[in-house]
Amino acid sequence: MARGPGICKLNCSLLRDDGYVEEMSQLIPIWVQEGVADLSDFPSIWDWVKHNISKCSRKYSKEKSKQRRLDEKQLHKEFHEASLSFQNDPSQENLAKLDALKERTEKFYEKKVEGIIVRSRARWHEYGEKNSKHFYNLEKRNHIRKHARKLRLSGVITTDPYEILNGERNIMRTFRRKTECFRTECFDLLL
Q: Which residues of 74-83 are buried (b: 16+ CB within 10 A; e: fewer)?
A: ebeebbeebe
Residue type, 40: S
Q: Are 93 and 158 part of one and the same domain?
A: no
Q: Are residues 96 and 154 in the same domain?
A: no
Whether residues 29 and 111 share a domain: the answer is yes
For a pLDDT cut of 70, what percent of the chain falls above it?
A: 73
Which residues have CB under 8 Å from 64's CB, separation 6+?
17
Residue 136 shares a structural domain with residue 159 = no
What digits encode the pLDDT tens for the residues 21-47? 999 999 999 988 888 888 888 888 888
pLDDT band at 191 (very low <50, low <70, confident <90, very high): very low
- Res. 190: pLDDT tops 50: no
Number of domains in the chain: 2
CB-based contact 83:102 (threshold 8 Å) = no
Q: Is 155 helix (H, G, I), strand (E, B) or coil?
A: coil
| Its pTM surpasses 0.75 | no
State which amino acid sits at residue 183: R
Q: Based on the domain organization, do 134 and 164 belong to the same domain? A: no
Q: Examine residue 2 and state whether it is found in any structural domain, yes or no.
A: no
In a domain, residue 4? The reply is: no
Same domain, 19 and 87: yes
121 and 185 co-located in one domain? no
Residues 28 and 103 in one domain: yes
Give the tens place of pLDDT for each residue, 120-179. Answer: 666 665 566 555 666 667 666 766 666 677 777 788 888 777 787 788 788 778 777 776
| pLDDT value of position 7 | 67
Q: Which domain holds residue 152?
A: 148-190
Are 153 and 137 in a shared domain? no
Which residue blocks in the chain are alpha helix, DSSP H?
Answer: 18-38, 42-88, 92-126, 132-146, 161-190
Spatial separation of the C-alpha atoms in residues 49 and 56, rounded to whole Å: 11
Q: How far apart are CA 189 and CA 59, in angstroms?
A: 79
> In this structure, is the dihedral angle defined by the CA atoms of residues 5, 9, 13 and 15, taken in order, positive or negative?
positive
Residue 98 sits in the same domain as residue 52: yes
